[in-house]
Amino acid sequence: MTAPDVQTETGGISAFDIVASVVVLFVLAISQPLLDLLGRNAEFFLARAAPSIDIVILAVGLTFIIPLFIALVVLGVGKAHEQTGRIVHGVILAILGAILGLQILELTLIADWPAWIEIILAVAIGAAVAIGFYRYESVRSIGRYASIAPFAVLGLFLFTSATSQLVFSSPSAVARPAEVSIGNPVPVIFLGFDEFPVASLMDAEGNLQESLYPNFSRLARDGVWYPNAVTVQQQTEQSYPTILSGVNAPDGKIPTASDYPFTLFTLLADSYDLKVQEAVTDLCPEYACQNTSRATLPFVQRWRQLVTDLRVVAGHLFLPNDLTNSLPSIDSSWSNFSGGENSDFDIIERFQEVVYDGDRLDRLSEFIDGIAPSEEEPTLNYIHSLLPHVPWNYLPSGQTYPKPGRAPGTVSPGWGDDVWLVDQSYQQHLLQVQFVDTYLGEVIDTLKAEGIYDEALIVVLADHGVTVRPDTYHRRYATQETIGDVAAIPLFIKYPDQFGAGIVDDYRAETIDVLPTIADVLDIDVPWSVDGTSLFSGERPVRTQSQINGAKGVITFGVDGSEARAIAARKIAHFGPNGPYGLAPPGQEDLLGVAIADIDIEPGSDTRATIRSLDSYADVDIDAPSIPAWIRGVVTPGPSDTGDMIIAVAVNGQIVAVTRTYVNEDGGTEYGALIPPPALQNGDNGIQLILVRGEGSGRTFTHLTG
């Protein structure tokens, strides 16, 4: 851009000065921070399967199209009415200057001051920028020299950032491993889950809870369960490449076939029919999967979602921390999206909500439909399912229930200090794990019906776990305190024509062992160096410690599995041995299952309560895709009821849940509880809320009205 010798009617300032001031300030205040953030986190685009053209359009739009459009509008207004043009231009400069000033202030000690002080100072900076432009030639000259900024920002993003790999990588350029010989080409079934701690399946002694998870137990009886299995990577974008390559993922790579050319997919590409469903990775190269492993949304739909996400990210990026609490939560699953400590972006969670969650059952069904014997070549059936990952809204049957909003007890990106609310979230997680068990049962039944169960190699595992405990900063950070939640994962392998059924192998298995194990069973010499060892081999190295690459560095821990058993023991202490619906406030567990006819209930109370969507209980279809299993409402305490209150929820004459009130962000009092689906009946259901005062034999019961 060179300055044309053109004078506008706006105070003798050239059109170029006006355009340069708007474009340069927009790029510095908005485009550069956003593109720097997205450039360092290519997973933002990878997770939504964004084609390279979308990335280029976004970058060019932020650096040229949008700021130039604004500048041209300013010029047009100035041409129509000089004074109005000056005002509009000055306001735009002041706004952009304030946004830039606020980002500078956030890097200083002023960031700890109240938000209103930051805003006042930022507005002052913006006003100074606008006034300086009109008063001082030196300020305008800075804009002229800085007019190279859009080119520099665009070039850095497209050619030097991590995201540039998605823009310029060529599917045909992906390296291929040497052709391998397969001595035992049996069918391979690979079910990969997400955010799934093994403690969710175990009792306090570390055994499987067979009555709650009958299908995991069935698989364990037919195969090998590795209760001491752990992941060596905390994050999905590193964990799945590690699992599929057998190589501990190095830092700085993104989960694409270009960065990971040697995986299970490439190992079997020449000899197997690959039926692959990836969720947020792109590891199966075009020559192996013909770009069918991931779905790309239509242009309009994906751009609508992209713009929505960018608005949220921009809010967290440009607003003072005090003002971001009302924005949708952005907490991390992809590591440190923002580059800061307090505002990570959970791209998996967001991707799941807007792209994947709506057809989650369809994708699971597609996996099952793809299971069939093949006469021509063996098959690899692979799925990375974002289950039981949040949002937690599935019942064991696969039905959903109205979401309770943010998970109870959430203090993003972790958990607050309210044990009861966090336990309610844990309850939702455990119910979703039971749904995973239900789905696993459907897979097993299909394999048996197709006659390939016995000969198949079946691998079931998760990439990492999740912490659901009070006073936890981050629910997915691996620390010495959270190893049992985050590192310890389920790993079940049913070997072909099982050499010994029902084996519980306490060997410290690690995710780097999965690929070598599959290769060993298939009798393949892996043509690249791996870090793991075959679990099928009789010559496994003795491991005295394990490591996980956590958010704060490498964490080293022991191999006895005590961390996971401790988490399971806490679960049993809070829920009892019979499952998630055993949750009740301490001392009130004995009310569950009690008929209201057997207790003396007073007729009314000055404390009142509402039931949200009460009409939904008047016409229940127990076979519908969604049922009203989450009951919630608002409580108006009477003068005699202060603090937390205990509420028993009775359905059709029986107490099926006991909950506790809490104070919401607006200072109101609310309650919520999960109703066991068997308590509901087709048609009309009688719902009663009972206020419980006192403890033990001294308790009194009062009907809540409202």
Decide: 306 and 54 in contact? Cβ < 8 Å: yes
Q: Give the span between the Cα atoms of 556 and 104, in whole angstroms.
A: 38
Beta bridge partners of 381: 189, 275
Displacement of CA 37 from its chain's centroid (Å): 19
CA-CA distance, 561 to 379, in Å (whole number)? 34
Cα 7 to chain centroid, rounded = 53
DSSP 592: T
> Which residues, in sequence order, are CB contacts of 15 under 8 Å at separation 6+?
4, 6, 7, 8, 75
Q: Can you give the pLDDT at residue 509? A: 97
Q: How many whole angstroms separate alpha carbon 22 and alpha carbon 67?
A: 7
Question: DSSP character for 172?
Answer: G
| pTM, full prediction | 0.84
Tokens (6 digits) for 676: 């066991």
**Which pair of tokens denotes residue 367?**
């996996």
Return d(Cα 82, Cα 75) in angstroms, integer: 9
> DSSP assignment of 61-112, as one string?
IIIIIHHHHHHHHHHHHHHH-HHHHHHHHHHHHHHHHHHHHHHHHTTSGGGG
3-class DSSP assignment, residue 607? coil
Residue 234 exposure: Cα atoms within 13 Å on the Cβ side: 30
Q: Which two tokens stand for residue 124?
A: 């002052």
Please report the beta strands in 418-529, taking only residues with DSSP state E, as ranges in sequence order.
Answer: 457-462, 491-494, 503-504
Q: Is 468 helix (H, G, I), strand (E, B) or coil?
A: coil
Q: What is the DSSP letter of 604?
A: -
Cα separation values, 63 from 20, 29, 103, 158, 164, Å: 12, 11, 18, 12, 16
Copy the structure tokens of residue 270: 């020449």
Three-state secondary structure call for residue 688: strand
Q: What is the pLDDT at residue 73?
A: 94
Q: Please give the Cα distance from 297 to 220 (Å, whole number).
A: 38
Q: Can you give the three-state secondary structure of 436-457, one letter per residue?
A: HHHHHHHHHHHHHHCCCCCCCE
Give the model's pLDDT for residue 705.
75
State residue 65's pLDDT score.
95
Residues of the chain with pLDDT under 70: 1-12, 47, 170-174, 291-297, 316, 320-360, 405, 499-500, 706
Tell whether domain 181-574 is in CATH 3.40.720.10: yes
E-assigned strand segments in 590-686:
601-602, 608-609, 630-636, 646-651, 654-660, 662-663, 669-674
What does 558-615 look like in DSSP terms, one character per residue? -SS-HHHHHHHHHHHHHH-TT-GGG--STT-GGGTT-BGGGS-EES--SSEE--TTGG
Q: How far apart are CA 329 and CA 100, in angstroms?
A: 23
Kind and range of the H or E element at 557? strand 553-557
Integer Cα distance of 514 and 534 in angstroms: 7
Phi–psi pair at 356, nearest 5 degrees: -105, -35
C-alpha torsion sign, points 677, 680, 683, 684: negative
Distance of alpha carbon 468 from alpha carbon 418, whole angstroms: 12
Strands 273-277 and 608-609: unpaired
| Phi, psi values for residue 60, rounded to 5° | -65, -35
Q: Give CA–CA dist 463/386, Å, rounded.
A: 10
Query: CB atoms < 10 A from the CB of 103, how many?
Result: 17
- d(CA 659, CA 470) in angstroms, rounded, equals 17
Strand-strand pairing, 601-602 and 700-703:
parallel
Buried b (16+ CB within 10 A) or exposed e, 512-534: bbbbbbbbbbbebebeeebbbbb
Do residues 426 and 389 lie in contact, with contact meaning Cβ atoms separated by under 8 Å? no
Three-state SS for 635? strand
Handedness of CA 99, 103, 108, 110 (dihedral sign): positive
Neighbours of 311 (CB within 10 A): 11
Q: Which helix (H) or strand (E) holds 192?
A: strand 188-193
Position 375 scores a pLDDT of 82
CA-closest candidate to residue 191, choices 399, 392, 346, 368: 368
Residues 6 or more apart whose Cβ sits within 8 Å of residue 139:
129, 132, 133
- Cα distance between residue 330 and residue 493, in whole Å: 35
What residue ranges do the domains of the chain occupy?
A: 15-168, 181-574, 584-703
pLDDT at 488: 97
Taking residue 610's Cβ as centre, other Cβ atoms within 10 Å add up to 15
As a CATH number, domain 584-703 is 2.60.40
* DSSP track, 312-375: HHHHHHHS-GGG-TTSPP---SSTTTTSSSS----HHHHHIIIIIGGGHHHHHHHHHHT----S
DSSP bridge partners of 390: none
